[in-house]
Amino acid sequence: DHLVYAYYKTYGIPTIITNSSNNYGPYQFPEKLIPLIINNAIKGKRLPVYGDGKNVRDWLYVEDQCSAISVVLERGMPGEKYNIGANCEKRNIDIVNMICDYLDKRIGLMDGKSRRELIEYVTDR
């Protein structure tokens, strides 16, 4: 942010900075929370949750992120910074539980057990 802003101030290059909350959606890297939990839960593998899972994140669908960036490009002012959020705050453990419950209902329990039983709390990074 600071480097981009410095170029704007020093050289007059028209820049706009955006910051956003956690994105999710198609083509997301498989090691990120939502795709990791979905893939592991389908395969019956452990579901790692960092810390106590109570970390809160604001979740923003990638297409909404793209729409917001488009608006900023059309209406934003050079040298300004724009924060993009979805007002969709969820704890990580709640996201994991929602995915488990959805898969349990959609494709059935695993050997009569909920995928929630695959949750494993691991040391926070």
What confidence tens digit (pLDDT) does each residue in 1-55 have? Answer: 999 999 999 999 999 999 999 999 999 999 999 999 999 999 999 999 999 999 9
What token pair was written down for 77?
Answer: 């002012």
Percent of the residues in the chain that have a pLDDT greater than 70, as a whole number: 100
Q: Are 17 and 91 in contact (CB under 8 A)?
A: no
Q: Where are the domains of the chain?
A: 2-122
pTM score of the predicted model:
0.87
Q: How many other C-beta atoms can be found within 10 angstroms of the C-beta atom of residue 122?
A: 12
What token pair was written down for 120?
Answer: 């494993």
Instruction: Report pLDDT for 124.
Output: 80
Question: What kind of architecture, by CATH, is found in domain 2-122?
Answer: Alpha-Beta Complex (3.90)
Q: Are 35 and 29 in contact (CB under 8 A)?
A: yes
Instruction: Report pLDDT for 86.
Output: 96
Phi, psi of 119 (to 5 degrees): -65, 130
Coarse DSSP helix, strand, coil percentages of the chain, rounded to the nearest 5 percent: 45, 25, 30
